[in-house]
Structure 1
Amino acid sequence: MTLLRDRRFRLLWSGQLLSNIGDWFLLVAVPVYVFGLTGSTLGTGLAFVTQMLPALIWPPVAGVLVDRMDRFTVMIVADVARAGIMPLLVLADGDRLWLVYVVLLVQASFAQFFLPARQAVIPEVVGRGRELERANAWFSLSSGLMRLAGAPLGGLVYAAAGFHAAVLADSTTYAISASTLVGVRALSRRPGCPGPGPVAPAPGPGQAAVYLREAVDFLRGHRVLSGLLLVSAVFEGVDGALNVLFVPYAVHTLGSGSGGVGLLFAALGVGFLLSAPVGRRVAEARRLRVGLAGCLAVIDACLAVFFHTHAFVVALVAMGIVGVPGGAFALVVQVELQRGTPSALLGRISSAFAAGQMIAALLGATLSSVAVRPLGLTVVADAAMVVLLLGAVGAVALLPAGRVREKADPARRTRAHPMPATPPGEADAPG
């Protein structure tokens, strides 16, 4: 419980928990509202695609800015902007449906700047020692809670008070998150408190390419992180492919209606909720080859059961178990990314991971959608599981066999500010 005694971490975690609750409200409310206005699955699907597009456009720019600006300021500006833009959704109606897509596009664009900044801020707040696993376990716990409770809460708000109430609730949570971040930033600037070092000036257009090349060179020379990027991309690609198949299989083969689909998602949420302590233990062991390959193998086995059973109870248990290694896998990747990347590069490397994973997810979803009609759902699911098994083999081949050496954290050792962002070519060497 040491982390909870740290006021900075309490503010950061609680603000993000509230913000995630608001996001789940919109995750439920927007597709229901759009479908009610249009009666079109195409219009509803376009709302999801609109939120994905920024992840293909902004990561290179976002990563550079996050590494060359005050990261708390980036997060605060992103939250304030989203708190201001979301209420425009209340103006959307049948004649102004385009406003929904514009607002979602802007909101998702600011998220692409917020997320790598948060990824980089966590080790600034807790250091890169044992507390890093614990901090990410707390964030994983909050993610599991939101998976389990966020959608039902969002549905209740929508049913009881309507779309406008859900929108205003989401906007309010962004404002609260911004206020907590202001508090974390103020505490981090106190004398003797470890936090971000001096801020380097934002790059000009010509410099941005140099900074991106520096990040690419770092990844190419870092065996652990380059291997993690490839393995996590395989995981996200398979996840994207199977997400396309999940609901049709549940409805047509398992014979479950919307209530049954909801139970399956709830079981997955329970698994993610339980994954936090498991992921923390795997991360603390720092045996990536064994830990990640084991997670992928268990996921593969559970998915094989899910897509080859006609018994709903068996499928429900399999889906619940999948969430445990799935959440643990994500936690371990995040911890190793934060620990293995120098602070001066963490924004760019985080954005590279996010972009690679999103591209893989979209590719997997596209291929699955195209292949399911000529090949059949079970064949496509089996092919995806073979790819995931190859990902487990890749983890064994690409990652080190023994314990991953922990990088020293001068900020935690000396209780002084960490090294400031360095100019291109002067970042820490790959460890």
Structure 2
Amino acid sequence: MSKVLFQRNFTLLLLSRQISKLGDGILLIALPFFIYDITGSALAAGTMFIAQMAPNLLFGLIAGVFVDRWDQKKIMIVSDILRALLLFSLVFVNSAEMLWMIYVVAFIQSSIASFFNPASRVILLKVVDKQNLMEANSIISVSSNIINLIGPSLGGALLGLGSFTVVVFVDTVSFFLSALLTFFIDIGNNNSNSIKSTYSNNTNDQVKNILYEIREGLCLILKNKILYSAIVFMIIVWISLGIINVLFLPFVKDVLNGGAMELGWLQSAASVGGILGGIILLRIKKIFSIYRLIIYCSILTGVVYLFVFNFPSLLLALFLYVLLEIPSVIFLVSIESLLQETVDENYRGRFYGAYGTVIGIAVISGMLLSGLLEKSIGVVPALNVAAILLIGSGIFYFLTFQLTMRNTKNQLDISSRSD
């Protein structure tokens, strides 16, 4: 049994995040079906994605500034309570004429999440020691994939057996429980930032302070070679995953001759692979360096995707989806741990705000690119491009890692000669 799980604050944070994630998973499957039922429009259901993605792009950078300024624990608690109250308002939606209300709630909820998400990541770094971060992230990954297995199925069952009101109620309760668990996390005096801005009642001065702090966060990424190469690596990864997310549905339907049930099987297979990946990472984290885990596993993920896309068989795809999610989880958890270890504690909010915005842009870019690729070369070739991009991300990271190591060695040699 992991020692990290016996740390009270980490366990409370883990439960808080996963209970909230379970509620989101239930809503994720129920909401599109509910929208489709009352409108009969697939486009109306797809519009939810825009409502949920836009706030992170609009407010991510600004949110990071305030996460660094404010008490992160209070941000999480207030965010959960506000989202619970907002979500509960959806019980009054019962017709297509009130569809606008769902979009407004989704937009505001996602805006609040722009503050909650970086705050929760900063809090993790305050309740777990650096040497235990990889283990903690592995546990979070395993529990998240367990939730991914349970949430959508539970959402479908609640919607089928009960009603959309029941789904809303369950998700509302999950946010309140998350807030309650967060309240009991004891951070002590470790919830303050040593870097404070000079506040002013003058609006122009406040705007200048915010812009200055945003620039500080971006400069941190650009000047730190480890952060910069990791961010570029993740941009390539998420462009690739953006393409796959859009084109995988037509791949299942037109190439594997499957439907919604088969798609659900593949998603479940991926969750099983994710659980195995987190468990395996706990075993091998001391055998391989974090850099080699990122490089090898990102390349391996791309290679397995190539087999999925070019040997169309549902049974083979189910097996390969379990297999490919193992290295996928390993490199994603590893890169997350590397970022956590590298970012200065006084800039974490700004970094994660900027990071979320950049990743959001990368995902949307991949989704837009998927349409262009599908029209010009077809579904399978477009998916192959995405897989090759994943392999390329690992090769890029290998080259930048080698270059960084060589430069570091040269600097040490120069320093020793001067001594």
Task: Sort the Cα spacing of 1:45 and 1:198 in 2 relative to 1 into closer, same or farther, 3 A.
Answer: closer
| Offset at residue 283 of structure 1 (A) | 5.3
Kindly indicate whether residue 12 of structure 2 is the aligned counterpart of residue 17 of structure 1. Answer: no
Residues 294 and 332 of structure 2 are in contact (CA less than 8 Å); yes or no, is this contact kept in structure 1?
no
Kindly indicate whether residue 183 of structure 2 is the aligned counterpart of residue 188 of structure 1. Answer: no
1:255 is matched with which residue? Answer: 257
Task: Sort the Cα spacing of 1:364 and 1:268 in 2 relative to 1 into closer, same or farther, 3 A.
Answer: same
Within 1, Cα distance between the matches of 2:110 and 2:285? 30
3-state secondary structure, aligned to 1:196: coil
Kindly indicate whether residue 204 of structure 2 is the aligned counterpart of residue 209 of structure 1. Answer: no
Q: Which amino acid aligns with 1:220?
A: L
Kindly indicate whether residue 175 of structure 2 is the aligned counterpart of residue 174 of structure 1. Answer: yes
Q: Which amino acid aligns with 1:196?
A: N
2:245 is matched with which residue? Answer: 243
3-state secondary structure, aligned to 2:109: helix
Deviating more after overlay: 20-29 vs 203-212: 203-212
Within 2, Cα distance between the matches of 1:321 and 1:359? 28
Q: 1:313 aligns with which of 312, 315, 330?
A: 315
Within 2, Cα distance between the matches of 1:162 and 1:213? 47
2:417 is matched with which residue? Answer: none
3-state secondary structure, aligned to 1:307: helix
Within 2, Cα distance between the matches of 1:242 and 1:103? 28
TM-score normalised according to structure 1 size: 0.88
Within 2, Cα distance between the matches of 1:4 and 1:289? 25
Residues 278 and 330 of structure 2 are in contact (CA less than 8 Å); yes or no, is this contact kept in structure 1?
yes
3-state secondary structure, aligned to 2:98: coil
Unaligned regions of 5+ residues in structure 2, if any? 200-205, 409-419
Aligned pairs for 1:64-143 within 5 A: 64-92=65-93, 93-129=95-131, 131-143=132-144
Unaligned regions of 5+ residues in structure 1, if any? 406-431
Task: Sort the Cα spacing of 1:179 and 1:134 in 2 relative to 1 into closer, same or farther, 3 A.
Answer: same
Task: Sort the Cα spacing of 1:56 and 1:282 in 2 relative to 1 into closer, same or farther, 3 A.
Answer: farther
| Offset at residue 123 of structure 1 (A) | 1.2
| Offset at residue 374 of structure 1 (A) | 2.8
Task: Sort the Cα spacing of 1:357 and 1:202 in 2 relative to 1 into closer, same or farther, 3 A.
Answer: farther
* Aligned-pair identity (%): 26
Within 2, Cα distance between the matches of 1:195 and 1:4? 20
RMSD: 2.0
Residues 47 and 101 of structure 1 are in contact (CA less than 8 Å); yes or no, is this contact kept in structure 2?
yes
2:50 is matched with which residue? Answer: 49
Within 1, Cα distance between the matches of 2:303 and 2:156? 32
Residues 126 and 187 of structure 2 are in contact (CA less than 8 Å); yes or no, is this contact kept in structure 1?
no
Residues 288 and 399 of structure 1 are in contact (CA less than 8 Å); yes or no, is this contact kept in structure 2?
no
String of CA shifts for 1:106-131, please: whole Å, max 9, x gaps: 111111111101111111011212x2
Within 2, Cα distance between the matches of 1:359 and 1:245? 18
Within 2, Cα distance between the matches of 1:202 and 1:134? 38
Within 2, Cα distance between the matches of 1:88 and 1:208? 33
2:415 is matched with which residue? Answer: none
Within 2, Cα distance between the matches of 1:335 and 1:137? 9
Q: Quick check: which one's helix share is greater?
A: 2
Q: 2:276 aligns with which of 262, 269, 274?
A: 274
String of CA shifts for 1:166-203, please: whole Å, max 9, x gaps: 1111111111111111111xx223xxxx7324674696
| Offset at residue 257 of structure 1 (A) | 2.0
| Offset at residue 288 of structure 1 (A) | 4.2
1:424 is matched with which residue? Answer: none
Q: Which amino acid aligns with 2:114?
A: Q
3-state secondary structure, aligned to 2:184: helix
Task: Sort the Cα spacing of 1:392 and 1:253 in 2 relative to 1 into closer, same or farther, 3 A.
Answer: same
3-state secondary structure, aligned to 1:188: coil
Q: Which amino acid aligns with 2:346?
A: A
Residues 300 and 327 of structure 2 are in contact (CA less than 8 Å); yes or no, is this contact kept in structure 1?
yes
Deviating more after overlay: 369-378 vs 224-233: 369-378
Residues 293 and 330 of structure 2 are in contact (CA less than 8 Å); yes or no, is this contact kept in structure 1?
no
3-state secondary structure, aligned to 1:98: helix
| Offset at residue 14 of structure 1 (A) | 1.0
Within 1, Cα distance between the matches of 2:56 and 2:208? 23
2:37 is matched with which residue? Answer: 36
Residues 271 and 322 of structure 1 are in contact (CA less than 8 Å); yes or no, is this contact kept in structure 2?
yes
| Offset at residue 328 of structure 1 (A) | 1.4
Within 2, Cα distance between the matches of 1:280 and 1:337? 18
Q: Which amino acid aligns with 2:191?
A: P
| Offset at residue 371 of structure 1 (A) | 2.4
Within 2, Cα distance between the matches of 1:44 and 1:133? 37
Within 2, Cα distance between the matches of 1:202 and 1:54? 27
